[in-house]
Amino acid sequence: MLSNAEDFGITIAGNTIYDETTITDAEIQALVATIDQASVDAIYYPVVVIDSANSRTYDLLNALHASDPARPIMGGDGLIGGLRADNSPLTNVFATSFQIDLDQTPEIVEFVAAYEAKFDVTVTVSDYYAVATYEAVQVVLDAIARAGETPTRSSVLQALRDTESYQGILGQWSFDDNGDTTYTGFGVMTIENGAWVAP
């Protein structure tokens, strides 16, 4: 993001790296003060994984929110996976995500029902990786089946690259020449009423 922000008319006021498990209250307040002094329009928090057991990220986000509730805080899907939304006072928090509607195909509806029955859980829109992981495993198994009688690493990789018009629970998609999927479902989620939702 930093490398091409200017192409989109975005000015980066600064960036900071901190240890989410050892940052102190004083350091959190100092960081918040620095951000406040910069008078930024938004904060981008590019978290990959939050160590839920030891992380002080939630404390930092609460402090940032308290200092200016109207200032948006944005991040990737690591926020969704690691930030507990239950009873959260946070507002204006947004996270980009691989977007799957739990009723977008009959196959997803069937998968969700089977998943909930097997694991005795309720699947929500923030559990999209359960669906995506199932799809990914099925694609790999399909590639192995197409890789010849005695599959090798290279033949399986080639079969994966050759995946085209794959019909899975997400619908029909392919891999392009760059190895990216043609599935383009991508969205933004936010915290509302103590839950991650798609606005």
Burial class (CB in 10 A: 0-12, 13-18, 19+), 170: buried
Q: Picking from 84-88, 131-135, 151-155, which range would have the lowest pLDDT averaged per residue?
A: 84-88
CA angle 146-150-156, nearest 5°?
45
Count of structural domains within the chain: 2
The answer to whether residue 73 scores a pLDDT higher than 80 is: yes
Residue 66 lies in a domain: yes
Q: What is the 3-state secondary structure (H, E, C) of 106-132?
A: HHHHHHHHHHHHHHCCCCCHHHHHHHH
Asked if residue 132 and residue 155 are part of one domain, the reply reads yes
Residue 120 lies in a domain: yes
Edge-to-edge order in the sheet of strand 186-192: 43-45, 73-75, 93-98, 186-192, 195-197
pLDDT digits (tens, 9 = 90+) for 123-143: 876 677 788 899 999 999 999
To which residue do tokens 């004083």 refer?
A: 26
Quote the pTM value. 0.66
User: What CA dihedral angle connects 89, 14, 78 and 191, to 10 degrees?
Assistant: 20
Q: State whether 138 and 115 are in the same domain.
A: yes
83 with 10, same domain: the answer is yes
Higher pLDDT, 52 or 191: 191
Co-location of 7 and 93 in the same domain: yes
The reply to whether 41 and 15 lie within a common domain is: yes
Q: Which domain holds residue 42?
A: 2-98
Whether 127 and 84 share a structural domain? no
Distances (CA, A) of 106 to 2, 33, 100, 136, 174: 40, 50, 13, 18, 20
Q: What pLDDT score was predicted for residue 51?
A: 60
In a domain, 188, yes or no: no
Tell me what percent of the chain is helix, strand and coil, each rounded to the nearest 5: 40, 15, 45
Looking at residue 141, its pLDDT comes to 97
Which tokens in the block code for residue 89? Answer: 């006072």
* Judgement on whether residues 113 and 162 belong to the same structural domain of the protein: yes
Which pLDDT band, with edges at 50, 70 and 90, does 31 fall under? very high
CA distance 176 to 122: 34
Q: Are residues 28 and 87 in the same domain?
A: yes
pLDDT at 124: 78
Domain for residue 197, yes or no?
A: no
Q: Is the pLDDT of residue 164 over 70?
A: yes
Higher local confidence (pLDDT), 158 or 98: 158
> 169 and 135 in contact (C-beta within 8 Å)?
yes
How far does CA 109 lie from the centroid of its chain?
Answer: 21
b/e per residue, 89-110, with b = 16+ CB within 10 A? ebebbbbebebbeeeebebbee
Dump pLDDT digits (tens) for 178-199: 888 898 777 888 888 777 777 6
Question: In this structure, what are the phi and psi dihedrals at residue 176, rounded to the nearest 5 degrees?
Answer: -90, -175
